[in-house]
């Protein structure tokens, strides 16, 4: 860390302390009342270092009084030039949520203290805040994480002792975030608004987790028009468990996601078929229903809607639960234990430890019987 970064960091710490002080002083009265309305306990507010920014030039004066370099405070974004070209505070009349990484303060996000529904700047993020997750320090400490939108939703769950992390704004979840969740059990709990924006954001987040980290999250939908914070205010934790969490579905059981996966699978496999010379053979073995290929290896499967589940038979994977899923519509297999994903050819390659061309020959031999020199055209459905 260079000198400048060191001072910017110091400014953030000073600002955080200032905001926290303000919350519990007379200027924070309105903000405290607002926190009560949103069901935030004062103990929680203290443990999460929540504060209040009165605004105008109050932070500026505080930093100046501490002898800190105001130009570097401009760098941090906490101070800015107002329309009269005076240096003043970025946050004016906002509840302040600091975002920590370890014990360092990364950035801040704010919620305007207002009940006016016309207010346009309800949520205000300091620069780069949208690239952060609120309360993400908890991820390291927990194997289960609940992913929600907005700090207030997260805080409601935290007060019910759930490990909750919030995205700041719809569609802010990215690949770098996904890495943090590797090998965790994830619940994505989204608001069910009329315009479906919560649903779209949840699905987008889920797709990133699925494609980057092979995570098959649980998806939980809130009742229409009731966000987690609303629900918290009028219910008990046991209601949340019985009414809300119990409706969880695996991402891979959601029709909209299945359709997306079919498209992705097609895209992923198209180039592979183009580069080989045996396109006719590949097309031929592709017509074999994948469940028949799995049955070839005496693997017992359980029907699961259109699909099948089984104990993963792959040599590299030993398991007791059925993570191995056979998708009949896409003719693909996905194992949520070892991460295997592929079509019948990929599956045979793994099972028999053979190459691509060999696997095609094997499948041709098993399913397309040759009678003398004549070949049948198409899948013969042979018993093995």
- The contact set with Zn ion (CB under 5 A) reads 312, 314, 317, 335, 337-338
Choice between 14 and 214, CB closer to Zn ion: 214
The alpha helices in the chain, defined as continuous H runs, are 3-24, 29-37, 42-47, 58-65, 70-76, 138-141, 151-159, 175-180, 197-213, 228-234, 237-239, 255-275, 279-286, 290-295, 344-352, 356-367
Contacts of 6 (CB under 8 A, 6+ apart): none
Backbone dihedral region of 244: left (phi > 0), alpha (psi from -120 to 50 degrees) or beta? Answer: alpha
Residue 137 gets which letter from DSSP? T
Choice between 27 and 337, CB closer to Zn ion: 337
Structure tokens at 173: 């979840």
Cβ contact 58:93 at 8 Å: no
Q: What are residue 165's DSSP bridge partners?
A: 147
Least distance to Zn ion, CB of residue 347, Å: 11
Integer Cα distance of 229 and 154 in angstroms:
8
Residue 328 main-chain phi, psi, to 5 deg:
-75, -30
Least distance to Zn ion, CB of residue 211, Å: 18
Choice between 132 and 323, CB closer to Zn ion: 323
Choice between 226 and 314, CB closer to Zn ion: 314
Integer Cα distance of 163 and 138 in angstroms:
6
Choice between 82 and 346, CB closer to Zn ion: 346
* Greatest distance between any 2 Cα atoms in the chain: 96
Least distance to Zn ion, CB of residue 274, Å: 28
Choice between 245 and 338, CB closer to Zn ion: 338
Integer Cα distance of 262 and 315 in angstroms:
26
Least distance to Zn ion, CB of residue 312, Å: 3
Least distance to Zn ion, CB of residue 334, Å: 9
Choice between 145 and 312, CB closer to Zn ion: 312
Cα dist. 350→175, 282, 297, 321 in Å? 29, 17, 12, 20
Least distance to Zn ion, CB of residue 110, Å: 45
Least distance to Zn ion, CB of residue 340, Å: 5
Backbone dihedral region of 240: left (phi > 0), alpha (psi from -120 to 50 degrees) or beta? Answer: alpha
Choice between 335 and 349, CB closer to Zn ion: 335
Least distance to Zn ion, CB of residue 323, Å: 6
Choice between 20 and 325, CB closer to Zn ion: 325
Integer Cα distance of 277 and 270 in angstroms:
14
Least distance to Zn ion, CB of residue 351, Å: 11
């Amino acid at each position: 860390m260079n000198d400048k970064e060191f001072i910017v960091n110091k400014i953030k710490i000073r600002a955080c302390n200032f905001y926290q002080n303000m919350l519990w002083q007379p200027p924070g009265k309105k903000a405290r009342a607002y926190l009560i309305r949103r069901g935030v306990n004062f103990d929680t507010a203290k443990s999460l270092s929540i504060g209040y920014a009165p605004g105008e030039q109050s932070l500026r004066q505080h930093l100046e009084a501490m002898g800190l370099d105001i130009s570097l405070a401009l760098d941090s974004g906490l101070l800015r030039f107002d329309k009269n070209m005076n240096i003043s505070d970025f946050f004016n009349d906002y509840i302040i949520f600091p975002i920590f990484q370890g014990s360092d303060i990364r950035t801040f996000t704010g919620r305007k203290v207002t009940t006016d529904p016309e207010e346009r700047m309800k949520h205000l993020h300091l620069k780069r805040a949208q690239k952060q997750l609120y309360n993400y320090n908890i991820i390291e400490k927990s194997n289960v994480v609940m992913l929600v939108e907005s700090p207030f939703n997260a805080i409601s769950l935290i007060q019910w002792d759930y490990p909750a992390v919030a995205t700041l704004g719809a569609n802010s979840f990215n690949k770098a975030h996904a890495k943090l969740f590797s090998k965790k059990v994830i619940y994505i709990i989204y608001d069910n608004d009329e315009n479906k924006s919560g649903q779209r954001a949840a699905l987008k987040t889920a797709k990133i987790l699925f494609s980057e980290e092979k995570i098959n999250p649980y998806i939980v939908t809130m009742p229409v028009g009731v966000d987690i914070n609303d629900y918290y205010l009028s219910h008990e934790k046991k209601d949340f468990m019985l009414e809300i969490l119990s409706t969880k579905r695996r991402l891979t059981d959601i029709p909209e996601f299945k359709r997306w996966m079919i498209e992705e699978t097609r895209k992923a496999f198209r180039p592979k078929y183009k580069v080989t010379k045996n396109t006719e053979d590949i097309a031929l073995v592709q017509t074999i229903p994948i469940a028949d290929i799995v049955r070839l290896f005496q693997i017992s499967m359980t029907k699961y809607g259109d699909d099948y589940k089984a104990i993963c038979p792959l040599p590299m994977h030993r398991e007791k639960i059925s993570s191995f899923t056979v998708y009949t519509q896409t003719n693909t297999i996905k194992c949520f234990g070892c991460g295997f994903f592929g079509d019948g050819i990929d599956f045979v390659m793994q099972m028999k430890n053979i190459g691509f061309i060999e696997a095609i020959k094997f499948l041709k031999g098993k399913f397309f019987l040759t009678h003398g020199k004549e070949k049948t055209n198409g899948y013969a459905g042979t018993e093995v």
